[in-house]
Structure 1
């Protein structure tokens, strides 16, 4: 499993203090996943890059506190690899979803310090980022050579290390200029779509303990449920009635903010038997000041018991 530590959030000196909690993210250093994690936790954790989303997910254990997983992009939709991992049986038992982070995806034209727009003869970045910035490139850098590389952050790192690249630019996050020396953002927000956001899940090895940095709670309580539907049951006139996800949500009276489904890992012998991943929410004001978390948990436990009573299976895999 590839790992890479990041000094951007490492303290200058611990003086014998307890080590910082570790957080795994989809690398390399300088990715938007890294930026989202840093904006959420700042210098309160130690960051370690992983080569895949699955590697970041599987990093979390008793000694490794946190991970950040990309969940959805507002343009490209759900991240399938993350949703496949949400089927893992460890979720809801040893690891939990404990929050979310939404990051505006803002591409910048990054150059070595002192490089002017007129100096640029080539631009390199991830293939997707090059496509997302084609309007800016056509308008301001017509005819420049476009070179695809494995990641936006990798483009910035290469630019930083090679002093001969004064005729080059990288498309990446401005965050990279904080990580790699000798770089500056020549233009910011150069992507075609201004409304481009990625949402991430915060994964932790504890269900209830406080995270390293607390955030002001919003007006809603959130949870992520993993639901399995039962086989058909006898209904009126002895006909078989299949339990549906709608039946479950109506019965438990929970508001679903999103519903996703993936093929079940436990019912492979049955065709098209899926596991449903349902985000639910409730108005926090109904639980009273200081009682929010406890009463929300009671509400959810009651809902899971009801699901079992009507023939389904439910697990609480996320709470925030």
Structure 2
């Protein structure tokens, strides 16, 4: 099972929490690398989807635009982890000596108040993960006067560091949701699904990716005037109506489309749940999501069910 590494990241904790000790783990340098591992040797991956304080994880949603989702790969579960950030420095370094703070951009954003009030002159440096930041300050002398934001467990994984502060996130109730994504083959799903500790016996959630039909235009290369015009956008309401009466549309996320056919033409991710009071099973729930997909396609848009759980 691949995840955003190195060991000690919140992704590592979430992966272990949902899959336990029943599998081998593969830490990856980036979220993109984790998806790459799914394309090769890994049977499944666990990736962060959104944080309750800082919002969606852009790197993950960029990868959810990939064509393999909904065909070769499928989302099969989710898990939520309580996030408590800690501040680490090289042993002997004082807070007032710190010149920069290192961490994943999500952690930097979740700790904005602490960084602004307690470290106002420190530069904020993005790293590939929280544990990667702690590893850097523990092993590289050029980070002697750097601090790293990461999980408390990093204090037991890396030598030569001091834990200065615990719980520096803006909100005490700070949570991150993770997706479990697996190769979409019968044999692989038969192996992975029983390992998911919080798996619901009857699926009631799903994620649908869709893009509205492209607006009409008079040339193959749009001009600034055409891109700025009101007609350059496709009305979204008809596509949202495709969800009505079938599912509960809980949230809608957006990323720029990778099709490259029209600037500001977006890809949407609709997180849906089963309607209250409607009894279903895996087959019926899958058919319900496919019906929504078909309605969007009938409007001229593109739609794919990325998974249900």
What is the TM-score when the length of structure 2 is the normalising length?
0.70
CA contact (8 A) 1:109 1:185 kept: yes
Partner of 1:314: 303
CA contact (8 A) 2:203 2:285 kept: no
Partner of 2:293: 304
TM-superposed CA distance for 1:281, in Å, is 0.8
RMSD over aligned CA atoms reads: 4.2
Which of 81, 87, 96 is residue 74 of structure 2 equivalent to?
Answer: 96
Alignment of 1:119-134 (within 5 A): 126=102, 132=111
Taking the aligned partners of 2:163 and 2:202, their CA distance within structure 1 comes to: 36
Which of 237, 255, 269 is residue 277 of structure 1 equivalent to?
Answer: 269
1:178-204: CA deviation from partner (whole Å, max 9, x where unpaired) = 545798978642434213222222111
Partner of 1:229: 212
* Structure 1 unaligned spans of 5+: 1-22, 163-167, 234-240
How many residues in Structure 1 have an aligned counterpart in Structure 2? Answer: 280
Secondary structure at the aligned position of 1:60 is classed as helix
The 3 A distance-change label for structure 1 pair 146 and 53 is: closer
Partner of 1:165: none
Secondary structure at the aligned position of 1:246 is classed as helix
TM-superposed CA distance for 1:86, in Å, is 1.3
Taking the aligned partners of 1:201 and 1:97, their CA distance within structure 2 comes to: 7
Partner of 1:247: 241
TM-superposed CA distance for 1:100, in Å, is 1.8
TM-superposed CA distance for 1:219, in Å, is 8.6
Partner of 2:283: 294
Structure 1 residue 25 corresponds to structure 2 residue 19: no
Q: Decide which structure has the larger Cα Rg and report it.
A: 1
Partner of 2:35: 57
Which of 171, 194, 197 is residue 214 of structure 1 equivalent to?
Answer: 197
The 3 A distance-change label for structure 1 pair 120 and 86 is: closer
Taking the aligned partners of 1:149 and 1:306, their CA distance within structure 2 comes to: 41
Alignment of 1:113-152 (within 5 A): 126=102, 132=111, 135=114, 150=127, 152=130
Which of 252, 259, 268 is residue 259 of structure 1 equivalent to?
Answer: 252
Secondary structure at the aligned position of 1:43 is classed as coil
* Structure 2 unaligned spans of 5+: 141-145, 217-233
The 3 A distance-change label for structure 1 pair 52 and 63 is: closer
The 3 A distance-change label for structure 1 pair 134 and 281 is: closer
CA contact (8 A) 1:62 1:205 kept: no
What is the TM-score when the length of structure 1 is the normalising length?
0.68
